[in-house]
Chain A
Amino acid sequence: MVQFRLPREARPVTGREHAAPERAARPRRFVVYRFDPDTGGPPRLDTFVLDLDDCGPMVLDALLKIKNEMDATLSFRRSCREGICGSCAMNINGRNTLACTRRIDAYPGEIRVLPLPHRPVIRDLITDLSQFYRQYAVVEPWLQERTPPPPDRERLQRPADRARLVGLEECILCACCSTSCPSYWWNEARFLGPAALLAAYRWIEDSRDEATAQRLDALDDAYRLYRCHTIMNCTEACPKGLDPARAIAGVKRLLALRKL
């Protein structure tokens, strides 16, 4: 059977408590997942109490404050701090999202910050996404042409054709969607997951791409595509407001139309 629970040694235990600074006007508790591969032992949930009057507005600001002032060993990925690089994807209060675009005051009380679910944890909030990137590579996410390009200009696209890519090409590969999909949890080895399938549909829909038939062939597979059972967690999770479930339905529709 597929594995439904974490093995005992991977279930987090209660960790250290870092108290609020004295005279904190607006204390707020952050519970953060910690795992150190070098010391071994089970992961811990450490608590940090911050004064929100002395902290930036976003969850990422809180993590940076913890790292800078309370515990320099806290590890997480971040780069752009404006929702465009996809590095800071994590699970905040039970939902996969970007720490840099989530306001602290959007959450009522204690804020629990865990790594993306169902990925091997490398350290603290950093997970191993190599499988996720390999799946992206499987859909060959680049323009494929059979006919030579016009000699005197680039391949042009009509505005109406370009418009078909809106909602597909904005994906930042943060992995919030795939790691929130139960089907992906049970079948990550063979199901490509919503992010890769959204990318596949992006190239299928591109008027300039000439490999549509091969792309559809490559997806006509019980595991790669059809493990999606339209649970819609992916769409719910996407911090960019994209709709991978609809893109997957689009691929299924094209395959069915081709068959009929």
Chain B
Amino acid sequence: MDGVNGGEDVGARLAPSRAAVSHWLGQRLSAALLLVLVPWLMFSLGSAGGMELDDLRQWIGRPSHALGLALFFLAAWYHAALGLEVVVQDYVRPESLSAVLVLGVRLAAVVGAVAAVGAVIWIVAGMQ
């Protein structure tokens, strides 16, 4: 008799995928990074409440700030992509659609991360 969600024991016949531990580790490590970077960013930008656009540029232009900001964008997009992948794999059927969506999530994250880091570099370069 078939099960309710997905039927027969595909899992028993498919070989294990192997790379799954990296996904899990990546999730934990990026979360730890964000745990430091998000408060730092909130504190810095919070105290910059009345900043003019030029002041903000100045702030981002400082090498340590630019580095922190770039790191934040990378970690945030990476973490978001890993999290969304889990949601897709949990709930989306059939598995072919789920695989396509996972690829889409990864692509979107790469585009987002490249755009964000590119913007930081662009601002820093504009300061020189």
Contact = CB atoms under 8 A, between A and B. Distances in A.
A163 B23 CA distance: 32
A122 B2 CA distance: 12
B35 interface: no
B91 to A, nearest CB: 5
Interface stretch (A23-31, A47-55, A85-93, A216-224): A216-224
Interface residues of A, number: 41
A232 to B, nearest CB: 17
A256 B5 contact: no
Q: How big is chain B's contact interface, by range?
A: 20 to 34
A183 B3 contact: no
A223 B3 CA distance: 16
A207 interface: no
B25 interface: yes
Nearest to A121: B1
A135 B91 CA distance: 21
B21 interface: yes
A189 B10 contact: yes
Contact of B18 (A137, A190, A220): A220
A186 B20 contact: no
B16 A190 contact: no
A3 B11 contact: no
B20 A189 contact: no
Interface of B: 1-12, 14, 16-25, 28, 86, 89-93
15 contacts: A1-B93, A2-B5, A2-B93, A3-B5, A137-B12, A187-B90, A189-B6, A191-B11, A220-B16, A221-B20, A223-B17, A223-B89, A227-B89, A252-B21, A256-B21
